[in-house]
Amino acid sequence: MAQAGPPPRILSTEDRATLAVIVRWQRFLLWGVLLNIAITVGIRFEPLLVIPGLVVVLGLIVVLANLSRSIGYGVVTRILLCLGLFIPIVSLLILLTVNGRATKILKSNGIPVGLMGARANCVTPST
- Residue 13: the pLDDT is 63
**CA 68 vs CA 28, 43, 57, 111: distances in Å:** 13, 28, 16, 19
In angstroms, rounded to a whole number, what is the distance separating the alpha carbons of residues 67 and 71?
6
Q: Under a CB-based contact definition with an 8 Å cutoff, are residues 89 and 83 in contact? A: no
Residue 122 falls within a domain, yes or no?
no
pLDDT at residue number 4: 46
> Domain tally for the chain?
1
The pLDDT mean for the chain works out to 83
Distance CA(104)–CA(118), nearest Å, equals: 12
Q: Which domain holds residue 97?
A: 14-111
Summarised one tens digit per residue, pLDDT across range 51-71 is 888 898 899 999 999 999 999
- CA distances 50 to 38, 41, 67, 81, 97, Å, are 12, 11, 25, 21, 24
82 in any annotated domain: yes
Pairwise pLDDT comparison (90 vs 10), residue with the higher score: 90
Closest CA to 30 of 87, 81, 103: 103
Domain membership of residue 72 (yes or no) is yes
Amino acid at 46: E
Question: Does residue 8 lie in a domain region?
Answer: no
Least confident of 21-25, 58-62, 94-98, 109-113: 109-113
Model pTM?
0.78
In a domain, 71, yes or no: yes
